[in-house]
Every structure is written in structure tokens, then in C-alpha cells.
């Protein structure tokens, strides 16, 4: 899945979001492009789990088609 996180602006944000994703699924593959505001996740878990985890971490994720 590919998420857009518009308020992810630096490496610190990327680290917080990576941790939030890994707390949902420790096996998840996470690929973050801060400049593009993009978080790509490979996981057996559903998108909703990651949307809520990233929201709880203080960010505003949206699904990118």
C-alpha cells in the first residue's frame, strides 16, 4: 500500500512513522520518501491498521491511489 503523509517533513517524522508501522507489524517492509511525503508499506495487515497507527503518532495519513 502507498500512503501520503503531508505533515511528514523530516527524518524525525520518518522515524516516528516507521516505528508506528512496525508496532502494528514488526515484519512490515517500510519505504519512506520524505520529499515525496510518501510511505510505502508491504504487510499482511490492512490499510486501516496503519492509518490509525500513524494518526495516533500525530500525523495525517491518506491512501494514495
∠ CA(22), CA(63), CA(10), 5° rounding? 60
Q: Annotate each residue in 8-37 with x if it binds Cu ion (CB under 5 A) or - if it does not, as one string.
A: -xx-xx------------------------
52 binds Cu ion (CB under 5 A): no
Residue pointed to by grid coordinates 508506528: 20
The count of chain residues that interact with Cu ion, using the rule CB under 5 A, is: 4
Contact range with Cu ion by CB under 5 A, out of 1-9, 25-33, 36-44, 45-53: 1-9
Exposed, middle or buried, 24 (CB in 10 Å: 0-12/13-18/19+)?
middle
Residue placing its CB nearer to Cu ion in the complex, 11 or 46: 11
Residue placing its CB nearer to Cu ion in the complex, 10 or 35: 10
What gap in Å lies between CA 48 and CA 50, rounded to an integer?
A: 5
Amino acid at each position: 500500500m502507498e500512503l501520503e503523509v503531508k505533515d511528514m517533513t523530516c527524518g524525525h517524522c520518518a522515524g516516528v512513522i516507521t516505528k508506528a508501522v512496525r508496532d502494528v507489524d514488526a515484519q512490515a517492509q517500510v519505504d519512506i520518501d520524505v520529499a515525496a511525503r510518501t510511505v510505502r508499506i508491504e504487510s499482511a495487515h490492512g490499510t486501516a491498521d496503519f492509518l490509525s497507527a500513524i494518526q495516533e503518532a500525530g500525523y495525517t495519513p491518506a491512501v494514495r491511489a
